[in-house]
């Protein structure tokens, strides 16, 4: 884990100040969005899988939230020029 950042495969350069606040804010906003729209997400998962299971929805969210957060942070970083 030496040399890794707070999200997936994000290197830290020595001698450079690194704040994980932007990454944490992205994760926080994604989690808040998921919590606010959990019922709609659960209905979508149930209609596409044909299984009425909240455990399946939670399992998919455990996988998707970090992936979506990382992708969103990379998009924002490339737009703003942040490294």
- Dmax over CA atoms of the chain, in Å, equals 53
Q: What is the mean pLDDT of the chain?
A: 81
The pLDDT of residue 14 is above 80: no
pTM over 0.95: no
Question: What is the C-alpha to C-alpha distance for residues 32 and 26, in angstroms, rounded to an integer?
Answer: 10
The pLDDT of residue 11 is above 80: no
Q: What is the pLDDT of residues 41-79, one digit of tens each?
A: 999 999 998 888 889 999 999 999 989 998 988 888 888
Phi-psi label, residue 33: left if phi above 0, alpha if psi -120 to 50, beta otherwise: alpha
Using CA atoms, how far residue 74 sits from 12, 23, 63, in Å, is 15, 10, 18
């Amino acid at each position: 884990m030496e040399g890794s950042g707070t999200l997936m495969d994000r290197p830290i350069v020595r001698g450079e100040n690194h704040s994980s606040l932007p990454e944490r804010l992205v994760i926080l906003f994604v989690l808040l969005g998921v919590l606010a729209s959990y019922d709609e997400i659960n209905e979508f998962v149930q209609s596409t899988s044909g299984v009425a299971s909240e455990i399946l929805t939670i399992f998919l969210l455990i996988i998707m939230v970090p992936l979506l957060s990382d992708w969103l942070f990379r998009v924002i970083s490339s737009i703003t020029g942040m490294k």
